[in-house]
């Protein structure tokens, strides 16, 4: 029998701290404390060699339930659809117009943070409504 493992979700991006802070706002996550001996992440970052400064950032679920999100700088931009994406569960337990209205309100909040609305998929015989969006650097995610 396999044991349950902890995991983190890693994002490749150009601006790790900017994208991490966006996801903190989306999910209610927070930036963890800096490493021992440093009063801030900025101080820690300045202690790195110049080529590594700004190369990574992370955020965590303050309740400890959700996975850690890690953001790493990569030289190339996004060129294709994500093979894995996050479903932000904003409409859990809701159906019909109430669900759609809740998702649309969350979509508006995230657009104000810099997200992009891609497509609204309306409910059909099999699925409830969901909204496809992109984060600040074009990574797809769904409001579900």
Report how far residue 137's alpha carbon sits from residue 27's, in angstroms, rounded to the nearest whole number: 17
Place of tokens 């890690």: 70
Mean pLDDT of the chain: 94
Residue 81, pLDDT > 90, answer no
pLDDT digits (tens, 9 = 90+) for 93-130: 999 999 999 999 999 999 999 999 999 999 998 999 99
pLDDT band at 6 (very low <50, low <70, confident <90, very high): confident
Give pLDDT, residue 78: 83
pLDDT digits (tens, 9 = 90+) for 9-26: 999 999 999 999 999 999
**pTM for the full predicted model:** 0.90
Give pLDDT, residue 77: 83
Q: CA 51 → CA 22, 48, 114, 124, distances in Å? A: 24, 8, 27, 50
Taking the domains of the chain in order of start, what are their residue ranges?
8-73, 86-143
Report how far residue 134's alpha carbon sits from residue 89's, in angstroms, rounded to the nearest whole number: 15
Give pLDDT, residue 95: 93
Q: Among residues 144, 135, 142, 97, which one has the least CA distance to residue 15?
A: 135
Q: Is 84 left (phi over 0), alpha (psi -120 to 50) or beta?
A: beta
Q: Among residues 54, 57, 14, which one has the least CA distance to residue 34?
A: 57
Give pLDDT, residue 104: 98
């Amino acid at each position: 029998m396999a044991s349950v493992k902890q995991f983190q979700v890693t994002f490749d991006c150009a601006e790790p701290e900017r994208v991490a802070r966006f996801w903190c706002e989306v999910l209610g996550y927070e930036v963890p404390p800096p490493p021992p001996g440093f009063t801030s992440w900025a101080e820690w970052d300045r202690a790195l060699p110049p080529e590594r400064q700004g190369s990574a950032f992370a955020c965590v679920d303050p309740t400890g339930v959700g996975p850690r999100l890690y953001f790493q700088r990569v030289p190339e931009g996004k060129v294709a659809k994500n093979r894995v994406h996050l479903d932000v569960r904003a409409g859990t337990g809701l159906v019909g117009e109430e669900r759609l209205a809740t998702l649309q309100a969350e979509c508006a909040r995230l657009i104000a943070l810099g997200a992009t609305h891609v497509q609204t998929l309306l409910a059909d015989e099999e699925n409830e409504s969901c909204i496809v969006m992109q984060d600040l650097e074009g990574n797809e995610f769904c409001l579900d």
